[in-house]
Structure 1
Amino acid sequence: MIIVSDTTPLSELAKVGKIELLRDIFGTVIIPEEVYIEVTTGNHPAVNLVKSADWIEIRAVSDLEKLSNLRIVTNLGAGECAAMILAEELEAHQLLMDDLDARRVALSRNLKIIGTIGILLVAKQQGLISSIKDILDALIAEGKHISSRLYEEALAAAHEL
């Protein structure tokens, strides 16, 4: 299974000590160079985790013109655009992405996407975690915006209401 990730799922799961769920669910996760740069810059919790993760592969986007055009047309960030182009080039089974505007573009390009909350739901279904509520609460405490509607829907989907 080919999985490509944008920055946010990596960084958000790292903030709450759950980045290994990506490895446990997907095995290998591929990120474009642009995402690697974003996630390993600064003093974010993901910096060392991503640098040392042998299950994360860094790949270059082949078609730089397509990447440049997507950035111009969508006004999205380098990591988001690179993740979409790489997912297309590799014919990825899933693209891990949270940003709503980027998700809309990815869906318009017929990419299959899953976000951080979806990853938590899969982890619970697979028995890797017993509850998503504490993790969602920790994400919110770390500054992740999760609407009350999405929060309630996620808990309902996880049978935690």
Structure 2
Amino acid sequence: MMLTICDTSPLLYLHLVGQLELLHLLYNEIVIPPAVQSELVVGANQGVNVPEPLQISWIRVIPVQAQALMPIVTDLGLGESEVIGLALEHPGSRIIMDDQLGRHIVAANQMTLTGTLGVLLKAKQAGHLNEIKMLLNALRTAGLWMSDILVESVLSQANEA
């Protein structure tokens, strides 16, 4: 069964710029592992403006069954490890992740991958957004690191260069 499995960062940043609903529009249902849910709960308890997955009907928490499938990389967070572990348990799944090390592991395992910017680009191409340039600026202001080259590439693909 193909799942769309999301890490914490895309959920957080899309929420902060008021675009979390794009995940539902583009992918219908989003799956998160318990570690991602925990990271969001910890953030909420610390007063951070985070989405509450248990309050969102189209986000489902699925535990990783085979812990042995989770990559053992010391610098990789538990959220990223569980996202990758879930994807390995459900071949053909799509991963939404921004973490650079996690993305390298996903790519090395030849899994389908996108990130926060890829979600915005797909949403524009699907007609859900008129422009993404202002959202990219808002994401930067919210703290999402993006290289200038990546921003230029995304804007070019969105015909906003």
Partner of 1:14: 15
User: Pairwise mapping of residues 87-98 of structure 1 onto structure 2 (< 5 A)?
Assistant: 87-98=87-98
Task: Looking at secondary structure, tell me which structure has more helix per residue.
Answer: 1
Q: Give % identity.
A: 34
Distance in 2 separating the partners of 1:63 and 1:93:
16
Counterpart code for 2:30: V
**Cα deviation, residue 81, structure 1:** 0.6
Distance in 1 separating the partners of 2:54 and 2:92:
22
CA RMSD of aligned residues (A): 1.3
- Aligned partners of 1:41 and 1:47 also within 8 Å: no
**Cα deviation, residue 40, structure 1:** 2.4
**Cα deviation, residue 88, structure 1:** 1.4
Identify which range, 55-64 or 39-48, moves more after superposition: 39-48
Partner of 1:46: 50
- TM score, norm. by length of structure 1: 0.92
Distance in 2 separating the partners of 1:99 and 1:159:
26
- Aligned partners of 1:40 and 1:51 also within 8 Å: no
Distance in 2 separating the partners of 1:34 and 1:75:
15
- TM score, norm. by length of structure 2: 0.92
For structure 2, the residue ranges without an aligned partner over 5 or more in a row are none
Compared with structure 1, are the counterparts of its residues 41 and 47 closer, same or farther at alpha carbon in structure 2 (3 Å cutoff)?
farther
**Cα deviation, residue 47, structure 1:** 3.6
For structure 1, the residue ranges without an aligned partner over 5 or more in a row are none
Counterpart code for 1:45: N
